[in-house]
Structures are given as C-alpha cells and as structure tokens.
Amino acid sequence: MPRTLVAITGASSGIGATFARKLAPEHDLLLVARRKDRLEQLAIELSGAHQTRVEILQADLTAEPDLAEVAERLRSDDRLALLVNNAGFGAAGRFWEAPIETQEAMHKLHVLATVRLTHAALGNMIPRDFGGIVNVASVAAFVRNAGSVSYCATKSWMTSFTEGLYLELRGLNSNVAVQALCPGFTYSEFHSVMGVQRDGLASPAFWLTPEEVVQASLEGLRSRKLFVIPGWRYRLLTMFLTKAPTALRLAVEAISSRSRAAALQLPSAGPRQLP
C-alpha cells in the first residue's frame, strides 16, 4: 500500500524539522524551505533512519514562481495526507521604522502563501474526503504588542482563516481536518534570526520545546481539535485575553509591550526571514 505524503513548509529547522522527524516513520515527506543545504541534511537523516521517501523543494514562498510551484505540487499528488503551513518569521521594531519590504514580506508569507497552499491542498483533499492542514499561528494571535504589529496581525488572521475553514468543512460533514496551532515562546532559531536574545523575553517556565509543540499538534489532529495551544500557562493566558474586558486587556498588553520593548530594545527591523 503506498505511503501517504506530508508536506511541511519552513521545514529546515525548529518546529518544521520536528514535524518532519516525528512523521517520517509513517509517511513520505515533502520538505519546503529556502535553505537547500539544511533540507538535504534533514533528508539524508530521515531517509537513512526510516523507510521513507523524502523530497525537498527549495522555495521562497514570498516569490510568486516558487509559491506557484509548491501549490501545484500539493494540488497534483493524491497521496497528500497533511499540509503543515509552518514557514514564518518575525521582525522586532516599531511598524513605521521597519522597511516596508519587511512588512510586505511578512504578509505575503503568513497570509498569501497560507491562502495559496491551503487552497491547493483542499482542492486535492476534499474530493477524496481525506487529509488535514495545520496552520502554525502563535499565541501572538491573541495579543497586540508594540514592536510586533504585523506579526500579531498576520497570526490573528491565520486563526480566523482556519476557524472559517473549520466551519465550512463541518458544514460538508467532511473528514478533512484543519487546525490552528498557537505556540508561545519556543526554543528554535526564531529569535536568533531576528537578532534578538532570548534572555528577558519570558520566564524559563514559559519556554516550550519544539517536541512539546509538535506532540500537542498531533494529539489535537487525532481529536480534530480546532485550536491547539501547547502548555497550560499559555492556555490560561489566552483564556484571560479573550475573555477580559477590552480596557483591562489593553492595559495588560501595554505593560507587556513595554517589558518586551525593553528586552528587544526595539531595533529598526530589517528583512530577517526564517527559512
């Protein structure tokens, strides 16, 4: 029986690479990222450790030709069982001080690439009534932070988009699942790529490992859970932020923003993109 296919964007490190390692024993993999050398190393590791076929696609999903190539690949392979939209990046700095190219690239990657790839994958999955999509958002979807305006906004869009898809699929009684995965601070290259030190960003108790994040996501997929927020501290935090009166929420976010701004020193943000 042919093995099913899992496609993962932003697969060269962090959460994306951890999804690949976790799923390799049972699925073939399509790994997408900008850094070809990292993808090749991961492919060698996984194909050697497991009887799995690993295909790599070097792609910059903010570039139309690359995005179109990945979308067509998802649309045309009837083995596709899961798409993990994980590619993303952050930028530290006040919105108007960051280059507009950085802001536009973030919206292209978090929003437009998610739209295109999800549309392609669902066009493949829905006729077969089989498959799932994980959109890797963030706890930042539920907050507003100075220094991360576009990041919070685009991650909030991802959760809204995923919830809408969930409702449409439920209306069809479809077996296709969608999930908004909303991790908090996670040990990865995310902050180092931004040029930001982890120290001072959050208490050690709030840091998650990529393995914890991926395990929570996969458990959520099995139970067809729409929102997956790894870590009980983050679940309590988001519950408060979504239920609190607006004035109280804004006051808490203002305090958080000042603390975060001090930790980041709000440098002017350049286009530092995660793979």
What is the distance between the alpha carbons of residues 227 and 180, in angstroms, rounded to a whole number?
A: 5
Give the residue among 121, 180, 176, 117 at the shortest CA–CA distance from 154: 180
Is there a catalytic annotation at residue 151?
yes
Question: Considering just the CA atoms, what is the radius of gyration of the chain in Å?
Answer: 18
With both helix axes pointing from N to C terminus, report the angle between 100-107 and 149-171 in degrees, rounded to the nearest 10. 20
Quickly list H helices, 135-231.
149-171, 190-194, 210-222
Residues in the chain: 275
Count Cβ atoms within 10 A of the Cβ of residue 171 and give its class: 0-12 exposed, 13-18 middle, 19 or more buried: exposed
| Token pair in block for residue 118 | 């999800």
For residues 140 and 152, the answer to whether their CB atoms sit within 8 Å is: yes
Name the active-site residue from 151, 166, 187, 234. Answer: 151
What is the distance between the alpha carbons of residues 17 and 39, in angstroms, rounded to a whole number?
A: 9
Residues 6+ apart with CB under 8 A from 96: none
Residues 6+ apart with CB under 8 A from 182: 137, 138, 139, 141, 142, 155, 159, 227, 228, 229, 230, 234, 238
Question: Which residues are the active-site residues?
Answer: 151
